[in-house]
Structure 1
Amino acid sequence: MTRLSLEQISLENQDGELDQVSSIHLSYRALSDVSCLSKFQNLERLDLSYNCLTSLEDLSSCVSLKWLSVVENKLLTLKGVESLSKLMVLNVGKNKLQKMDEICALADLRALILNDNSISTICKLDQMKHLNTLVLSRNPIHDIGKSLMRITTIKKLSLSYCKLQTIGSALVSCVDLREARFAHNEITILPDELAKNSKLQTLDIGNNLLENVSDIEVLSQLPNLKNLNLLGNPIAEKERLAKKVRNMIPHLCVFNAKPTESSENRKHSIKESLHRRNTADVEPGKRKRANAAMISTVKEHTTPDYSDRTAAVLEKLTEKKSKSTSVLSAHKTSDKRSKKVTKESVEFDEIDDSEVPFEDLVFSSKATERDKAREKLGDTQLSGGVVVDHIKKKKGKKNEEPGMLAIQLLSSKHEVGLGGSSTWDS
């Protein structure tokens, strides 16, 4: 039995007084007793991953906790977590939990990760009005039930490697769902109710029992679906049926781990147009008109989420006036612009090109303060400011949606939809 002491924490922390410590990292310590942490009532972020904890009751006094990771311990129960009413991110993956009922009291949760446990029933999550990420993969769950019937804020959901046979009407209320993963189950048909999830962009339903196009016909009613994985299903083994699926959902950008032909043609066409625009020796007035035409082309031929971003880049270019009339100067400027726009044109066609293990989510107090100041609710700005996003952000780039992300991602791997194995729900 390894017992944590205040002396150990004092030696590792440089924050001065213990009652002012807001973040502690204690992974890989073989800890089985952390009762001394009850004295840290201002603690907001705590990492106890890869230890030997069997209970969370020692943390019940850490009432200021907002981020808690206890990945890969020996937890049999979540008793004690119900006292942590300010929790926004909770990761209890890879333990020995059989139930999750204590979670119901955590009304402020934004991200809940319970993968690789022995949970068979999902408790009702009605109190979680801000929950946007739920991971329950690799649990023996046969039925989603009515656990999500009142949750409208879910954006990312993973129930891969469970024992699901049907989805039914379980997701009807999840009108903001963007990413859903049901790979490695026993699903034989996608329900008509899935049409309610009109914002769905990524759907991984590989390695199930889908046989016919009629089993997935509802997907044609999802206007924003860009990334679909059916690999491992009987329907994906027949080229004739796979072709019917592509025709049924012509707006797909990635299908069965490969970019679609229309997506590749669209990218090539836009890159060619950009190249011609940047190498043409034309007068400033004509160049401006050409820019306007290109903006129109981009908006018409790119997917909704990325066209605005690319068009914005081009519009900024049109605002810049040439300060030199010499052909040499014009070409130098054109070269610089070409590199910048080409980079954008490559990036806007990538669909959710990175994912991270949830162990790498880091709580950002600055973002929280900014969100508190705004005191608004939105797709990516929730009360308290914590939200999860798995799309890799460019350094220095501001979020276009209301609010700013209060969780930063430290590492990434390619997702299943782009040819790599998924780590999103690991």
Structure 2
Amino acid sequence: MAVLSSDKVLQENHASDANSITSLALTHRALSDVSCLSGFEYLERLDLGFNSLTSLEGLKLCVNLKWLSVVQNKLQSLKGIEALIKLTVLNAGKNKLRSMNEVRSLVSLRALILNDNEISSVCNLDQMKELNTLVISRNPISSLGESLIKLKSITKLSVSNCQLQTIESSLKSCIELKELRLAHNEITTIPSEISRITKLQNLDLGNNLISKWSNVKELAPLVSLKNLNLQGNPVAEKENLVKKVKYLLPNLHILNAKPIDKILGKEIDESTEKTQDIVSRIRDEVKTSHESRNKNSSKAQTMNVTMNTRLKDTKNAASQSKKRQLDEKDEKSRKTSKVNKLNVVDDPETPFGDLFATDTPGIRTKTGDEKFDRVKVDSTLERKKSRKLTKRDNLNAFGDSETPFTNRFPPAEPEIPAEAGFKRLGHDQIFRDYDRESDVISMTIYKRNKKHVKVDPAALSQLDVGLGGASSWV
């Protein structure tokens, strides 16, 4: 262990009088005893950090000390410090202190740092009217009790990495707090008294046991809060936590050590990308559906055109066949009539007036004795015979392999209004209006001898009226 003497101190500081020295820095010297400093009466600032001190008894005469650091030594007690009533800053962190009772008399303290020790309870600090910073982190403290009940001037409090299970009402008087660190404890609830600390700007509650959103809602009155840490709590896993916190604390800038606006922006971007993917997928499906529908519609239109062409050809063929039969029948009738006329001229029983009877088909003439003209009778018989032959030819057509199938059932002329889109249904007409863009089909039924009536398409769901498949509203 290094031994320190007053002469060495004077030599190092180029001084001849101890009363002329007001500040000393004696760190990293493995010092175990500093009793030689008792002669430095006007010493105000002393740094003894990173040594091997086990006692502070040698400093009791340094009554003018205002700033003292004994961080990272081997102190188990602060005995000897009670006389330093002018101290405003004391840093005794990283020692082996079991108690902090010796500091109660230091009424001028403004900053007390006792982190990384073995302190199990916080003494009453009622007399420290000017204390604004208290750091007691990493100590086995289970409760703050009433130790801070009258600390109205405190602005920074750190009790992280302790064993706190509750804050209770110990902070209800700390209305000037701006920074509160309670991370890595066993806190399950946030007391309602915290709502009184309206000047709080930084709050660290990370790695605790807070699980209910109702507890977080106690922070709503903290309008000055800029930095909040809830990471490591069960409540941090809640859905939409960021949005809820932002709504709860509109002035918040940092959440869980990240800028809240960037977090929200990232969520919005991810949501936008997801939405765009969904929209893109839907568009692809709609496009495919329309292509399929158009394809089916094209096929249906082609089939309709083909069928209409075939029906038209069949109709024309039937009409030409009928016309040809009539022409043949008329020609035969005229020949028969001519022969009969010649026979009548040679017939002595035929009256002279009947020799000049008309041979026009379909005109009925009479003689003076009320008898039909023989030429007309023959023509009528020929027409009846022709109809029988035509009927027999039609029946024979069923067994004729060369006769087109559609010719066996000549299409009846549908009584369809002039508007496009009507479809025959019994004695009524159905008007179908299909809008491709909106994919909506409307129906109108025209009743025979009645005014048209609008009907619900769902009522006609049994009809296959759609394009390319079954009805879309079933």
TM-score per shorter chain, which class?
Answer: 0.5 to 0.7
Residue 241 (structure 2) pairs with residue 245 (structure 1)? no
Q: What is the aligned partner in structure 1 of residue 66 from structure 2?
A: 66
Distance in 1 (CA, whole Å) between partners of 2:113 and 2:170 is 19
Q: Residue 260 of structure 1: CA displacement?
A: 1.9
Q: Is the 8 A contact 2:243 2:264 kept in 1?
A: no
Counterpart for residue 171 of structure 1: 171
Report Cα offsets for 1:63-117 as digits up to 9, x if no partner.
Answer: 0000000000000100000010000000000000000000000000000000000
Task: Work out the CA distance in 1 between the residues paired with 2:261 and 2:10.
Answer: 59
Partner residue in 1 for 2:88: 88
- Secondary structure of residue in 2 paired with 1:19: helix
CA drift at 1:15:
4.3
- Cα distance in 1 for partners of 2:263, 2:237 equals 22
How many Å separate the matches in 2 of 1:163 and 1:247?
32
| 2:206 is aligned with 1:206 | yes
Q: What does residue 144 of structure 1 align with?
A: 144
The answer to whether the 8 A contact 1:201-1:227 is kept is yes
Distance verdict in 2 for CA 1:263–1:251, change over 3 Å:
farther
Structure 1 residue 238: Cα displacement = 3.0
Contact 1:163–1:186 (8 Å) recurs in 2: yes
1:237: Cα distance to partner? 2.4
Deviation at 1:132, TM superposition (A): 0.3
Q: Mapping of 1:3-402 within 5 angstroms?
A: 3-261=3-261
Deviations 1:320-341 (CA, angstroms, capped at 9, x unpaired): xxxxxxxxxxxxxxxxxxxxxx
Q: Which amino acid aligns with 2:99?
A: K
Runs ≥4 residues deviating over 6 A: 262-265
SS at match of 1:81: coil
Give, in whole Å, the separation in 2 of the partners of 1:216 and 1:82: 42
In the alignment of these two chains, the number of paired residues is: 265
- Percent of pairs with identical residues: 57
Note the C-alpha offset of 1:122: 0.2
Residue in structure 1 matched with residue 310 of structure 2 by the alignment: none
Letter in 1 for 2:200: L
TM-score (norm 1): 0.61
From the superposition, tell whether residues 162 and 116 of structure 1 become closer, same or farther in structure 2 (CA, over 3 Å).
same
Give the CA deviation at 1:246. Answer: 2.4
Root mean square deviation of aligned Cα? 1.5
Displacement of 1:12 in angstroms is 1.2
CA distance in 2, matches of 1:14, 1:35: 21
Cα shift at 1:181: 0.2
Whichever residue aligns with residue 170 of structure 2, its letter is: A
**Separation in structure 2 between the aligned mates of residue 224 and residue 264 of structure 1, nearest angstrom:** 20
Higher relative contact order (CA 8 A, sep 6+): 1
CA distance in 1: counterparts of 2:51 and 2:36, whole angstroms: 16
Q: Bigger radius of gyration, 1 or 2?
A: 2
Structure 1 residue identity aligned to 2:82: E
Q: Which runs of 5+ in 1 are unaligned?
A: 266-426
Deviation of 1:262 after TM superposition, in Å, equals 8.6
Judge conservation of contact 1:71–1:92 (CA < 8 Å) in 2.
yes
Report the CA distance between 1:251 and its aligned residue.
Answer: 1.5
Distance 2:263 2:16 in 1: 55
Residues 281-300 of structure 1, C-alpha deviations (whole Å, 9 max, x = no match): xxxxxxxxxxxxxxxxxxxx
- TM-score w.r.t. the length of structure 2 is 0.55
